[in-house]
Amino acid sequence: MATPHILSGIKPTGKPHIGNYFGMIRPAIDWQDRGKAFYFIADYHALTTVTDPKLLRQYTRDVALDFLACGLDPAKAVLFRQSDVPQVAELAWILSCVTPMPMLENCHAYKDHLAKDKVPSHGLFAYPVLMAADILIYDSNVVPVGRDQKQHVEVTRDLAQKMNALYGPVFVVPEPSILPTVETIPGLDGRKMSKSYNNTLELFPEEKALRKKIMSIPTDSTPLEAPKDPAGSAIVSLYRLFADEAQVRQMEADFRQGGTGYGEFKKRLFEAVWTGFAPMRERRAELAADPGYVESVLKAGAAQAGALAEATMRRVRLATGLGA
C-alpha cells in the first residue's frame, strides 16, 4: 500500500489556544507517524480577517513555534507557510473555473456571514476553493478534520471528481478523517472555544495572565456550602482535558457535596493547565531563543511542499492545455 499523504492546516489569526491544541495540533502530531504529513500555516486564508502585516507575520511565527514545541518533528512532517508555495493560488484559480456558484453559496462560512448581515469578501466566498487547492496540490488522500469542516472536504472531493471527469485522472480524491474531539473543546463561557467568541485559553501565556483568565470563568451564584451541578460546568469540562479520571471524579464529587467554592475549583484547573503544558512551555522558550531554526524549518518544509506542488501543477497544466 502506498504511503498516505496527510494534509492539515491552521489559520494564523491569533495566538493558538488549547482548542487549537486538542482540536488540531495534537491530532496532527499523532498523524505524523502514520504517513507523509503536510501541515501548512494558512496565511493566505488568514487574509480574510487579518489585515495588519506585522500581526500576520507574528501570528504565523507563533503557530510554527507552538507546533514545534508541542512535538512536531520536522524529520517526519512537512511544516510550511501556505504562501511559500504560490502554486496553490494558481490551482485555486483553475479549480474556480469549474466550481458552480451554488456550491459556494451553500457553504457554511458564506451563509453565516449573510445571516449576520455582514458583507462577505470574495476571499471568504471562494475560501472553499482555495482549501480544495490546498488539499489536492499535495496528492492528499487523508484529511483529518472536525465535523464542522467536513463540508470543505466534500467540496474538494466534488471538484476533484469534476476535474477528473473533464481532463482525466488529474487528482487523488481525498477522504476525510473525522476528529471527534474538535467540537468538544469548551471555551471559558461554555461555548466552543473560539477567538471570535473571545473565550479562549492561550497555549503559552504568562503564569499571571493564565491564572487571571481561569479565575474569571463565569459561574452562577450558588453559595459555597451548597451542592453544585458539575454537568455543563466549563470548569469541569476544561479540567477533564488535563486531569486523570480519578481527579475528575473527585472534582465532580466535590461539586455535588457542597462546601467547596468555585474559586477553589478554578485553582485546581489552573494548576492542571499550568502543569500540563510545562514541558512544552520549556521547549517553546528554547525554540524562541533561536529564531533562525524556526525559519529554517519553514523554508525546508516549503521546499519539500513546493516540489510536490509543482509536480502536480505540471500535470494539471498539461491536462488543461495551459502552457506550450
Contacts for 269 with CB less than 8 Å, ≥ 6 apart: 214, 217, 235, 238, 239, 242
What confidence tier does 179 reach under pLDDT thresholds 50, 70, 90?
low
The reported pLDDT for the residue numbered 190 is 84
Sketch out the chain's domains with CATH numbers: 5-185+291-320 (3.40.50.620), 205-276 (1.10.240.10)
**Sign, Cα dihedral of 99, 10, 187, 189:** negative
Taking only the tens place, the pLDDT of each residue in 20-59 is 998 889 989 999 998 999 999 999 999 999 999 999 999 9
The per-residue pLDDT of the chain, averaged, comes to 92
Q: Is the Cβ–Cβ distance between 18 and 193 less than 8 Å?
A: yes
Q: Characterise 160 by phi-psi region: left (phi > 0), alpha (psi -120 to 50), beta (else).
A: alpha
Q: What digits encode the pLDDT tens for the residues 286-298?
A: 999 998 999 999 9
Give the pairing of strands 36-41 and 77-81: parallel
CA distance to 24, 287, 288, per residue, from 68 (Å):
13, 8, 10
This model's pTM is above 0.75: yes
Predicted confidence (pLDDT) per residue in 118-137, tens digit: 888 999 999 999 999 999 99
How many residues are there in the chain?
324
